[in-house]
Amino acid sequence: MNVALLFDSSDPALGWNYGDAVLRRVLRTGALQRRQAHVRVSTGDILTRVLTPDWPVARILATVYSPKRFDRLRRQALEAAVVNSIVFCWLVQNLTEDAADELDSAMAATPGYLGALDVSFGDPVQLAMFGSRCPSTSGSGVLPQRCCTPGSATGPTGR
């Protein structure tokens, strides 16, 4: 299963370099390392307000952030982040539901954590927002691939 862990990039506890802060916090949980599974990780900003400027927030939430079977979203916090901030994502591919639950539970107390959802690349909107936004690397370890958003030379944080 593909699972997106979402974060509010403007949370002061994550700091200006929120991509690295999230990386450290996810890896510190040990949840991915304990599984010793072959996973693929992609990281980056989900630019919903840039890519869908005419969509009302309710449509963005119902279309982009629409889990099918794994729903651990904190909806009020996610809505606030979509309106006022940029949502930062750790997309983990080839994750079991047990591993996703463990990772979600371990991240629950992390400042700025907006929750997790399953992502379907068969859904054209989710593919555009999550799948084709950032390249990923595969390997037996967890090695996030940094990526730049269009027009950005600064990498995943966009700052």
Condensed to tens digits (0 to 9), the pLDDT of residues 68-118 reads 999 999 999 999 999 999 999 999 999 999 999 999 999 999 999 999 999
Residues 17, 130, 97, 112: what is their CA dihedral angle, to the nearest 10 degrees? 30
The length of the chain is 159
Give the pLDDT confidence score for residue 82 in this predicted structure. Answer: 93
Give the pLDDT confidence score for residue 72 in this predicted structure. Answer: 98
Q: Name the average pLDDT for the chain.
A: 82
CB-based contacts of 137: which residues, under 8 Å, 6+ apart? 40, 41, 143, 144, 145
Strands, sheet with 137-139, edge to edge from the N-terminal-most edge strand: 113-118, 3-8, 87-93, 39-46, 137-139
Is the pLDDT score of 60 beyond 70?
yes
Condensed to tens digits (0 to 9), the pLDDT of residues 128-159 reads 888 765 544 333 233 333 332 333 333 333 33
Condensed to tens digits (0 to 9), the pLDDT of residues 111-122 reads 999 999 999 999
